[in-house]
Structure 1
């Protein structure tokens, strides 16, 4: 019996050794699919600026606001009015506009050619036209700032998605490597199980570990699919291509002074400028509503043939509404309330900006501490834990529980490193986002 068991262990050693020789062949990954596009972050950013639908649509809002400035500067059109004789019952004629005939004169009809022409022009008073232009210019500034803020938000989404994709692919690669190694080990132990060289529970426990690795790989694949979908929308890319990130910028571990970051945020963030411009816009809107208390003046000239005090009457016309009941009180009160509302919004937005910057600093300092307190040579020491553990388990120098514990330790150590780097890059981009400044 001992001889048979020794033979089984010897056969198991040969099988594992043979699998170790051919394992590089199994570990080779297929070449990238034809629809895979390798993109660096600068390349992706240029595609984003050229193609993103939301940016293009917001640019049109600026053009619309610019057209509104042109419209606000246009003066009211003059009004031309004509009135003439359709049917003259005295003469029995239609559209009689010429001078009276001798027969009409003999009959006493001297006004048979009656008509009147009136030309009127509305004149805007109280500087309404200039105030309309000023309000339209403020609306254009709001549209431009909204475009800048949208670009800031979408840039951050692009950077973080690219970074998450980069590190999620590393996490997937880690689990795929471990999955390939574990599957080879399970296959070898299934063969050994038939000869009685290993216990059934060992194979079952290894199969459970394989299923865990498959579940982790599936989770990463779904995350990568979501990130690919986000990039396709950001780049307006309908083709079924896979965007493969190539590299990230070198990691920098120095922070700017907090005061500098806050000053940069208050100066450069479009949402702060947007709040300030909203106050300006409300002030201009209030000035326009107050100007509308003053009625506009309508001037005109009237020429009337045969219909007034004498035959060829030319009159001057002036008309204005009397501001007795309607002095635009409701619109003025509404504009005053809007001004009070947006004035308080600026202070609140400045508080939010400062809080955002401090939050990004706190997160960065946490991750920097985690990075800087790592022992020397830590990454080198964790690289071979999985391979050495597999060798030791095959040689029966460690048991199953010890082996699985070492495998979990290796996976967790690698994942912690990937997650830390991902958090560092994303939090650096968060600081850039909250300050609208390229510190990293």
Structure 2
């Protein structure tokens, strides 16, 4: 009996040794520590790369350049038209391309078997201000491209910031789980040693194995989330495959909330999608003005010179031509433009309602998280950390059992996880307020 008691005490001393020994590997960042292509990046560094390398932004910038080129094209006048007509074959003389001057005898007889040709030059003149209306429409299209670029940047910016924050906090959670997993694996190994001597019941070893499997499952879930976040960042930044982006820090958390009226006014003033809706009305009005101008036919003017083929030998005449707007007065295109204008006018009011709803939603969420943060008791985080320390001490002293120890550690884990999630939610909701207002409040 004394030998068994001695063996049990020695076994628990071994347990205490395992619990108090911390591996230096825990100080390393999980996942990233095994990758050779880890890049430590701050948020400003990532933002600079994003502006320079993101494919969607580059492609949208090209759309602005295309719109600028379209303005130049719309301002160009129609080219003049040059027309020439000559004699290919004269059946009277059997000559090909008979462009030599007729003989004096032929002239005296009024016969012109050679030398005939005609030259005509024409110019289309756009009437009813069509060219200026085309330029105005092209300028509106440029404004639409510029606003679309701003909206794409706003969306991708939000995605970059929230993905970076999610990665930052998910790595903290993963470190928490990996630290606890290492602790409990050491505890399990020591219990297996004691189990062989009969110092602990088998169910306690099984209970530890279940706890470890649970930690491994949670750790795997966060590893898959981190993999998704890495994939998103690689696409946003056009990083090569295999690169692991390691976030270094986040800006200090601000705890002041802007006035709701200020947030709503900023959104209605600065949101690119509101600007798009307003510019679409302007674009539709300019399209309608252009289609109405197209009811007026364009005027074609010209000069004609004809050699040996008209009322006299060297005939010079002028030309005027215009379509008669009898049947086609562009009625269908005008009706279509009028309908488009009605549609986009109603869309602006709907978009304003959506924007106000987005801001209120983000504002309410942020207030909720601020209230949760502000009601946190003083010294709460220090007491959370003490749970793990005190539980380990009590378990080493054998004043609490395994189940009580695991319960306290689980409480510690959940409290730490809740705090990390709160900070992550706070940061992401602040970015949501920035996104919905298109204003950098945070």
Q: Same fold (TM over 0.5)?
A: yes
The correspondence of residues 234-273 of structure 1 with structure 2, limited to 5 A, is: 234-273=236-275
Give the conservation status (yes or no) of the 8 Å contact 1:300–1:316. yes
Give the conservation status (yes or no) of the 8 Å contact 1:68–1:136. yes
Cα displacement (A) at 1:6: 1.4
The correspondence of residues 210-289 of structure 1 with structure 2, limited to 5 A, is: 210-289=212-291
Matched, 1:65 2:67: yes
Give the conservation status (yes or no) of the 8 Å contact 1:8–1:196. no
Match of 1:373 in 2: 375
Match of 1:9 in 2: 8
Match of 2:352 in 1: 350
Match of 1:154 in 2: 156
The correspondence of residues 84-103 of structure 1 with structure 2, limited to 5 A, is: 84-102=86-104
The correspondence of residues 41-80 of structure 1 with structure 2, limited to 5 A, is: 41-80=43-82
Equivalent residue in structure 2 for 1:183, among 180, 185, 205:
185
Cα displacement (A) at 1:93: 0.9
Cα displacement (A) at 1:291: 0.3
Moved more, 262-271 or 379-388: 379-388
Once residues 17 and 365 of structure 1 are traced to their aligned partners in structure 2, the CA distance between those partners, rounded to angstroms, is 46
Once residues 389 and 287 of structure 1 are traced to their aligned partners in structure 2, the CA distance between those partners, rounded to angstroms, is 79
Once residues 103 and 12 of structure 1 are traced to their aligned partners in structure 2, the CA distance between those partners, rounded to angstroms, is 138
Cα displacement (A) at 1:411: 0.9
Equivalent residue in structure 1 for 2:137, among 104, 112, 135:
135
Structure 1 residue runs of 4 or more that deviate by more than 4 Å after TM superposition: 30-33, 102-108
CA displacement, residues 182-229 of structure 1 (integer Å, 9 cap, x when unaligned): 000000000000000000000001000001101111111111111111
- Structure 1's unaligned 5+ residue stretches are none
Match of 2:394 in 1: 392
Once residues 191 and 431 of structure 1 are traced to their aligned partners in structure 2, the CA distance between those partners, rounded to angstroms, is 55
Give the conservation status (yes or no) of the 8 Å contact 1:39–1:245. yes
Match of 1:335 in 2: 337
Moved more, 183-192 or 20-29: 20-29
Number of residue pairs matched by the alignment? 439
Give the conservation status (yes or no) of the 8 Å contact 1:91–1:104. no
Cα displacement (A) at 1:152: 0.5
Cα displacement (A) at 1:178: 0.3
Distance 1:253-1:21 versus aligned 2 partners, 3 A rule = closer
Cα displacement (A) at 1:94: 1.0
Q: Normalising to structure 2: TM-score of the pair?
A: 0.96
- Structure 2's unaligned 5+ residue stretches are none
Q: What value does the CA root-mean-square deviation take over the aligned residues?
A: 1.5
Give the conservation status (yes or no) of the 8 Å contact 1:145–1:274. yes
Once residues 211 and 171 of structure 1 are traced to their aligned partners in structure 2, the CA distance between those partners, rounded to angstroms, is 17
Matched, 1:38 2:48: no
CA displacement, residues 265-317 of structure 1 (integer Å, 9 cap, x when unaligned): 11111111111000000000000000000000111111111211111111111
Match of 1:315 in 2: 317
Cα displacement (A) at 1:82: 0.6
Once residues 242 and 272 of structure 1 are traced to their aligned partners in structure 2, the CA distance between those partners, rounded to angstroms, is 37
Q: Find the residue that maps to 1:120 and give its secondary structure.
A: strand
Once residues 273 and 328 of structure 1 are traced to their aligned partners in structure 2, the CA distance between those partners, rounded to angstroms, is 30
Match of 1:408 in 2: 410
Q: Normalising to structure 1: TM-score of the pair?
A: 0.97
Q: Find the residue that maps to 1:173 and give its secondary structure.
A: helix
Cα displacement (A) at 1:239: 4.4
Q: Find the residue that maps to 1:243 and give its secondary structure.
A: strand
Give the conservation status (yes or no) of the 8 Å contact 1:111–1:306. no
